[in-house]
């Protein structure tokens, strides 16, 4: 039984039991005794205190009152045999260990309808008792020690003793729960192991800091494919840590279990995520060990993060050479790098492909690594990914006269297509001499994956804008470059490139108009143009 201390935090509220104030003021003591004297006796010869008596005899003599008061009659007998009639309640039946041990909180309980002189004792405790000083409700607090843990159930007993009466004991319990702001704790063991051990023993997964009997859900996915569930399980939280525990051991598919895997777990409104790695057992008899992570991933993730390659058990300061090729053409080197083995006698490299390849990076690749006289090989796979984007940039027109460029209803339209619908597309226009950003804007790609902006000059002199301008756009981390030319002559624009889907999508594209300053006008015109650009943005936000 855990050591607890009774904190006598007493809150008394006097309650009137029996007759109301109006009735109490109407009947005198003599009248009450006279009424009781005329009541029918109970079977044991004592008057029944609950039975109603006849109306008080207002003509009863004082001698009769005094005589009844001096005898061991019905009135005194009823007082001595009255049982303890009280109620008991706990303020909370679920609390954290910190709340139970906090002197300003603790386990608060209330016993009502007590009388002055009653003695209240609690268990568990240190045999500390408190004497009630007034009739009414008594409120006390029990404090717990720091040994309490999530999942414990604390039995509470409160005993009331009254002089001349049999004591009365109330019982209840408090469940020790985790704090609401305590994060779920997810662990996977082991975090890294070779394929043979994984196939034999699997991994142990634990999610702690849930609530007792909470449903705990576990799920495993590949690191590069979070939408495909490889395995899932449901357990109940139990034990002093209120944890869910499970073990995952694969049955088949030996070659497919090499790589990095993501474990997610949740209970109630809490969740957590972690990873574990399964390495190849090939070459374990040699002095070196080659790993690639992740072994399998989608094109989009591959273009963003690439793969990490490690060769261990070399010699410190040895040259460690890494080479990547496709599996169907191992003689053609796609990428190669040489590192020095560090103090841990290992070489590390990260291969991130050029983004220009786009979806063409799908397939199986061969990784070769060597240090000293040891050479090793392994593979990784890049799977087709429907979310891959290969955006296109078009500028219309690519060549425009200064007279048309300063017309707001003409200017130059910059369009990006084949983005992810709803994604942000960033637009920038730069001058070449001097190299300075003249315009920037962000627009959201519509349901067709297209976004567009328009730029034009604000100065009334067409010759101020003569020159070449550089355009930079970014969609889904894919950067594209282009340019357009403003000529000093008049007339219609030339060299237009309407770009893809210009006829069908342009009307519904998100479009942002803005003024572009001229380079030839100098810094003053550029600054004035920048201020105007900001004003144009605010005007667009207000819908004007």
DSSP string, 38-89: TSPB-TTSSB-TTSPPPPP-TT--HHHHHHHHTS--HHHHHHHH-----EEE
- 107 and 167 inside one domain: yes
> Distance of alpha carbon 117 from its chain centroid, rounded?
53
Query: Same domain, yes or no, for 260 and 398?
Result: no
- Residue that terminates a domain, selected from 383, 411, 444: 383
| Integer Cα distance of 477 and 491 in angstroms | 38
Distance of alpha carbon 30 from alpha carbon 65, whole angstroms: 6
pLDDT at 470 over 80: yes
353/136 Cα distance (integer angstroms):
80
pLDDT band at 394 (very low <50, low <70, confident <90, very high): very high
Q: Are residues 4 and 70 in the same domain?
A: yes
Least confident of 56-70, 104-118, 239-253, 335-349: 56-70
- Average pLDDT, stretch 294-312? 86
* Shared-domain flag, residues 38 and 96: yes
Q: What are phi and psi of 508, to 5 degrees?
A: -105, 5
Task: Measure the CA–CA gap between 136 and 106, rounded to whole angstroms.
Answer: 22
Do residues 352 and 273 share a domain?
no
Same domain, 433 and 507: yes
Tokens of 502: 């210009």
CATH code (residue 357): 2.60.40.1930
Candidates 171, 167, 172; CA nearest to 118 is 167
Last residue of some domain: 254, 279, 304? 279
In a shared domain, residues 45 and 85 = yes
424-439 pLDDT, tens digit each: 899 998 887 667 888 8
pLDDT at 319: 92
Q: Is 439 exposed, middle or buried (0-12, 13-18, 19+ CB in 10 A)?
A: buried
Predicted pLDDT of residue 164: 84
Mean pLDDT of 113-142: 84
d(Cα 69, Cα 500) in Å, to the nearest integer?
112
Confidence check: pLDDT of 489 > 80: no
Q: Is 522 left (phi over 0), alpha (psi -120 to 50) or beta?
A: left
Residue-level pLDDT at 273: 92
- Distances from the Cα of 74 to the Cαs of 34, 155, 164, 274, in angstroms? 11, 42, 17, 78
Q: Nearest to residue 170, comparing CAs of 87, 83, 91, 94?
A: 87
Per the domain annotation, does 287 fall within a domain?
no
Asked whether residue 284 is domain-assigned, the answer is no
Residue 221 counted as domain residue: yes
pLDDT at 477 over 50: yes
Task: Give the mean model confidence (pLDDT) for residues 137-157.
Answer: 79
Q: How confident is the model at residue 369 (pLDDT cuts 50, 70, 90)?
A: very high
pLDDT in tens, 184-216: 889 999 988 888 788 888 899 999 888 888 899
First to last CA, the chain: 74
Residue 356's pLDDT band (cuts 50, 70, 90):
low
Most confident of the following: 30-34, 281-285, 480-484, 531-535: 480-484
Q: What pLDDT does residue 217 have?
A: 95
The yes-or-no verdict on residue 314 having pLDDT over 90 is no
When pLDDT is cut at 50, 70 and 90, the band that residue 345 belongs to is confident
Domain span at 362: 292-383
**Considering the domain boundaries, does residue 286 fall inside one?**
no
Residue 106 lies in a domain: yes
pLDDT at residue 304, rounded to an integer: 84
Rg (C-alpha) for the chain, rounded Å, is 43
Give the model's pLDDT for residue 386.
Answer: 54
Q: Is residue 48 part of a domain?
A: yes
Are 16 and 129 in the same domain? yes
**Poorest-pLDDT segment among 88-102, 263-277, 394-408:** 88-102
User: Of 356, 383, 410, which closes a domain?
Assistant: 383
Residues 499-507 have a mean pLDDT of: 38
Q: In this structure, is residue 161 part of a structural domain? A: yes
Residue-level pLDDT at 387: 54
The reply to whether 396 and 493 lie within a common domain is: yes
- Are residues 347 and 403 part of one domain? no
Q: How many domains does the chain have?
A: 4
Lowest mean per-residue pLDDT among 295-304, 386-395, 452-461: 386-395
Q: What is the mean pLDDT of residues 62-83?
A: 47
Instruction: Tokens for 88, please give them.
Output: 């008991």
Residue 264 lies in a domain: yes
The answer to whether residues 267 and 316 belong to one domain is no
Residues 436 and 521 in one domain: yes
Count other Cβ atoms within 10 Å, centred on residue 512: 20
Q: How many whole angstroms separate alpha carbon 128 and alpha carbon 461?
A: 96
Mean pLDDT of 232-256: 82
């Amino acid at each position: 039984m855990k050591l607890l201390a009774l904190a006598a935090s007493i809150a008394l509220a006097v309650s009137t039991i029996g007759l109301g104030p109006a009735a109490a003021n109407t009947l005198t003591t003599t009248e009450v005794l006279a009424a009781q004297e005329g009541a029918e006796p109970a079977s044991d010869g004592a008057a029944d205190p609950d039975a109603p008596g006849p109306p008080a005899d207002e003509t009863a003599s004082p001698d009769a009152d005094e005589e009844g008061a001096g005898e061991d009659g019905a009135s005194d007998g009823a007082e001595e045999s009255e049982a303890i009639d009280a109620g008991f309640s706990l303020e909370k039946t679920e609390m954290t260990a910190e709340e139970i041990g906090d002197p300003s909180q603790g386990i608060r309980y209330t016993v009502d309808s007590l009388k002055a002189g009653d003695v209240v004792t609690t268990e568990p405790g240190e045999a500390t008792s408190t004497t009630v000083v007034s009739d009414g409700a008594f409120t006390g607090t029990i404090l717990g020690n720091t040994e309490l843990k999530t999942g414990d159930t604390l039995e509470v007993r409160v005993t009331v003793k009254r002089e001349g009466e049999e004591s009365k004991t109330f019982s209840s319990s408090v469940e020790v729960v985790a704090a609401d702001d305590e994060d779920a704790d997810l662990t996977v063991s082991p975090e890294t192991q070779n394929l043979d051990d994984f196939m034999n023993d699997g991994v142990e997964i634990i999610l702690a800091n849930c609530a007792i009997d909470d449903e705990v859900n576990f799920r495993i996915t590949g690191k590069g494919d979070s939408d495909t569930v490889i395995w899932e399980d449901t357990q109940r939280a139990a034990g002093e840590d209120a944890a869910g525990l499970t073990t995952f051991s694969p049955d088949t598919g030996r070659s497919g279990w090499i790589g990095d895997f993501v474990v997610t777990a949740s209970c109630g409104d809490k969740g957590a995520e972690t990873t574990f790695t399964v390495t190849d057992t090939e070459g374990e008899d040699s002095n070196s060990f080659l790993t690639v992570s992740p072994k399998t991933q989608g094109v989009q993730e591959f273009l963003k993060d690439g793969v990490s390659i490690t060769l261990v058990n070399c010699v410190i300061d040895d040259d460690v050479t890494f080479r990547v090729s496709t599996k169907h053409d191992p003689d053609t080197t796609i990428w190669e790098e040489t590192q020095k083995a560090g103090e841990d006698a290992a070489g590390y490299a990260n291969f991130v492909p050029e983004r220009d390849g786009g979806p063409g990076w799908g397939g199986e690749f061969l990784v070769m690594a060597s240090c000293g006289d040891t050479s090793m090989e392994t593979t990784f796979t890049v799977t087709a990914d429907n979310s891959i984007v290969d955006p296109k940039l078009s500028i219309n027109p690519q060549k425009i006269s200064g007279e048309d460029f300063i017309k707001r209803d003409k200017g130059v339209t910059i369009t990006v297509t084949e983005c992810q619908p709803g994604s942000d597309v960033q637009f920038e226009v730069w001058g070449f001499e001097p190299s300075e950003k003249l315009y920037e804007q962000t627009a959201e790609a519509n349901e067709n994956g297209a976004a567009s902006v328009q730029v034009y000059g604000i100065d009334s002199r067409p010759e101020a804008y003569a020159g070449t301008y550089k355009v930079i756009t970014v969609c889904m981390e894919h950067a594209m470059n282009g340019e357009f030319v403003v000529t000093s002559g008049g007339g219609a624009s030339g060299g237009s490139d309407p770009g893809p889907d210009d006829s069908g999508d342009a009307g519904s594209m998100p479009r942002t108009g803005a003024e572009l300053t001229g380079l030839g006008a100098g810094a003053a015109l550029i600054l004035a143009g920048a201020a105007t650009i900001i004003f144009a943005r605010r005007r667009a936000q207000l819908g004007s």
